[in-house]
Chain A
Amino acid sequence: MAFSANLEMTGSEARITLEGELDAAVADQFRQTVERAAQEKPQKLVLFMDKLQFMASAGLRVLVFAKQRMGRDVAIYVIGATGPVLNTMQMSGFHQAVYLQESYP
């Protein structure tokens, strides 16, 4: 399934909805979306992952990049990650750096 990353600004929140398979080939697309979000200087970055089916290490690298690019004061929320995507984050320890939630108001 084709990958997409859509950015939407809601007040001081940057919301990115991820769909499809996030592998090395499309990681840069995600990275650019994070970059655009960072330029808006949000207080929160919310990543909707319930429609994300797979995340390769390249995708995780972008999450690490997002964490560093946004800075310590910006909370990152990961919403609806399941299956292999959640596994990848847990085994690599990234889940500790973000707020993992099943849903988001």
Chain B
Amino acid sequence: MDTRIDFYPTHQHQGYKLRPGRPVPFGATLVPGGVNFAICSRYATSCTLVLFEKGASTPLVEIPIPEVFRIGNTWCMVVFDLDYERIEYGYRMEGPWDPKAGHRFDASKILLDPYAKAIGGRDVWGEPPDWNDPYPHRARLIFEDFDWEDDRPLETPLADLVIYELHARSFTRHPSAGVKHPGTYAGLMAKIPYLKELGVNCVELMPIFEFDEFENSRPNPVTGETMYNYWGYSTVGFFAPKAGYAATGPLGMQVDEFKNLVKELHRNGIEIILDVVFNHTAEGNEHGPTLSFRGIDNQTYYMLTPEGYYFNFSGCGNTLNCNNPVVRMMVLDCLRYWAAEYHIDGFRFDLAAILGRDPWGAPMPNPPLLESLAFDPILAKCKLIAEAWDAGGLYQVGSFPAYGRWAEWNGKYRDDIRRFLKGDEGMIPALAQRLQGSPDLYGWNRRGPTASINFITCHDGFTLYDLFAYNYKHNEVNGEQNRDGGDDNHSWNCGAEGETDNSEVHALRQRMIKNALAILLMSHGVPMILMGDEAGRTQRGNNNTYCHDNDLNWFDWSLLERNTGLFHFARQMIAFRKTHPLLRAREHLGISAVQADFIWHGVHAWNADWSPGSRTVAFMLRERQAGQGGNTNPVLYMALNAYWDALPFQLPELPINYRWHLFANTALSSPHDIYEPGHEIPLEPYQDSFLVGGRAVVVLVGRP
């Protein structure tokens, strides 16, 4: 190999041996004897590679990339004999400073490579950085020698997933987690047995791309604590895992630790979806720092107004120009990298409606980025999930350009189920749509129920406990006089705002939580549970905890002891869903030629009350051949009563030899509220009605 002519230096600079590089792949790539550096900029007039010893504040050397090494708009150079382990690199770009024309070049800044695969500078979470560092987020070189053995993405059918949304730090940071490395990928790995016990088969991690927890950090005017960019919805580097989430961050081994986490999740049958934020970056608007994109090619990477200011469809200061072909390529390269190199199973796109806007902000009917992702051969088996709205008012739930591939966070599911649960009138028709996998949204174009990611709570907004403990948001500790966070929570405090000693209120809240979990796990579509909802996690009424590194976000594991019954209920509901393929329909029943039916009932069998005053409905799920010709598959029945009093529900007749069995009844307290799937309690042979408690749901199984 080393006899090849292209492995020999042709140039040198201050003793560093160089030769023209290869323009692709972008980023820094180890090649025999050296490192290939490649970066593009349309408007830069020169590019200098800046090398540092790890952590040093002054550069080791600055190597202007010879003009003869430039190919098109790409500067590429091989530097030989670098000590891979001890080098950090950045760039200086020269070019016009002309904000009106969209150019903000500033050669005094050292810029982070957008393709940096590991980033130093925030190696330990929350450790105050050197604010005078000329290069705060430092690109490092990585080895791609992880031993995956036979691991690969699991490719679990979307219809079979039960997603668990979690924050990598919050999950195990609380002292009660009892792990060796709290708040890290290693800590999360130690809790895999818990996830298995609960029964979820997919975790969706809130952002883990490198971000700066100190972005806009400030003392809390109310409590004095430091407030951080805690959730991390503000990317510094799209190709690098957050070092501060790695126990090995101080050793620079976050890449290995994260890959090890993925491998262990897969070994336990659990997929991993990443929440990715391509709508904006950590550079903010014209007052923000110049870290990377702004100094490399502002006009390419950002959506700009005709006057050269930043469009703000993200609500975060700037908007990534995703349908510029260069940016589009970066997004595609990034996702391919995570799929291929990290074995990631899927992606959830934050404020994805932005990805369908053209460079001037107008929504496109056929957005090239979304189409490229949908048809990409490397991402072909990855889940693609859109948060189908943005902060600029584009709301595309049900109409997101899907190309037969994209699923959506179903915001209408969240709102309709919440409103039904709290007892709003007129919700039964909408409830019926949501239970069936929202055919009103996803049936007309045959996207099927798996286009709908069903959730009642997510990181944005109330936890499930708080949904039934607070009528109003209580965000005072966010330091904005309670102005931040949404007001349309559709929540109900069950009779007392916040914590109370009233045991009736407490019991009702437990029941309401169980109602919600039961509906979520009985609905067609793909259920998503928010971290801790299975244990009654509270944020004390705060519905926007983006800035708190404390127990407002951390999962308090001692809740599992206090709320054993909730956990037990959630676990059995998940097990029930896994037991019954009827609940995991691939297609909408009644639209496609599927041999099973959704049959509607009410307090009277075969006769649902769809009127505006109704707060009750029941449904039966059955195969058309159930009970005939040797088919003994079960029939499922669910009665939902959001009325405040108990009501008798007449039960539909079962095939001969079948008998109803009680699986769940949220009107009863634990442990009589739910049974293990397969061990349900038989009803009396001729029992033809069931008294469903006020604000309760009942699930029955009909089987021989």
Q: CB-CB contacts of B38-75 with A at 8 A, as 1s and 0s?
A: 00000000000000000000000000000000000000
Are A64 and B147 CB-contacts (below 8 A) given A24-B85, A24-B86?
yes
Q: Is the CB of A92 within 8 A of B257?
A: yes
Residue of B nearest to A55 (CB): B251
Shortest B623–chain A CB gap in Å is 44
Bound form: Cα–Cα A87–B252 in Å: 14
Partner of B260, one of A56, A57, A65, A92: A92
Are A61 and B145 CB-contacts (below 8 A) given A56-B85, A92-B257?
yes
Q: Is the CB of A65 within 8 A of B145?
A: yes
Q: Is the CB of A88 within 8 A of B85?
A: no
Shortest A49–chain B CB gap in Å is 16
Are A24 and B247 CB-contacts (below 8 A) given A92-B253, A93-B256?
no
Instruction: Check A1 for interface membership: any CB of B closer than 8 A.
Output: no
- Among B145, B246, B263, chain A packs the most CB atoms within 10 A around the CB of B145
Are A58 and B85 CB-contacts (below 8 A) given A64-B145, A88-B248?
yes
- How many B residues are at the interface, by size bracket? 20 to 34
Residue of A nearest to B184 (CB): A91
Are A67 and B147 CB-contacts (below 8 A) given A27-B85, A56-B85, A88-B251?
yes
Q: CB-CB contacts of B74-106 with A at 8 A, as 1s and 0s?
A: 000000000101100000000000000000000
Instruction: Check B181 for interface membership: any CB of A closer than 8 A.
Output: yes
Instruction: Check B143 for interface membership: any CB of A closer than 8 A.
Output: yes
Q: CB-CB contacts of A18-56 with B at 8 A, as 1s and 0s?
A: 000000100100000000000000000000000000001
Q: Which residues between 82 and 99 of chain A lie within 8 Å of chain B, taking CB atoms?
A: 87-88, 90-94, 97
Q: CB-CB contacts of B181-209 with A at 8 A, as 1s and 0s?
A: 10001100000000000000000000000
Instruction: Check A68 for interface membership: any CB of B closer than 8 A.
Output: yes
Instruction: Check A60 for interface membership: any CB of B closer than 8 A.
Output: yes
Tally of A-B residue pairs with Cβ under 8 A?
59
Residues from chain A with Cβ under 8 Å of B86 in the complex: 24
Residues from chain A with Cβ under 8 Å of B260 in the complex: 91-93
Bound form: Cα–Cα A94–B146 in Å: 9
Instruction: Check B264 for interface membership: any CB of A closer than 8 A.
Output: yes
Q: Which residues between 144 and 193 of chain B lie within 8 Å of chain A, taking CB atoms?
A: 145-147, 149, 181, 185-186
Q: Is the CB of A93 within 8 A of B263?
A: yes
Bound form: Cα–Cα A57–B251 in Å: 6
Residues from chain B with Cβ under 8 Å of A94 in the complex: 147, 256
Instruction: Check B138 for interface membership: any CB of A closer than 8 A.
Output: no
Bound form: Cα–Cα A9–B186 in Å: 36
Instruction: Check B259 for interface membership: any CB of A closer than 8 A.
Output: yes
14 extra A-B contacts, CB within 8 A, seeds A24-B86, A68-B145:
A24-B83, A56-B252, A57-B251, A60-B256, A64-B143, A64-B145, A68-B147, A87-B247, A88-B251, A91-B247, A91-B260, A94-B256, A97-B147, A97-B149
10 contacts between A and B (CB under 8 A): A24-B83, A27-B85, A56-B85, A57-B253, A61-B143, A61-B145, A92-B248, A92-B260, A94-B147, A97-B149
* B interface, CB within 8 angstroms of A: 83, 85-86, 143, 145-147, 149, 181, 185-186, 246-248, 251-253, 256-257, 259-260, 263-264
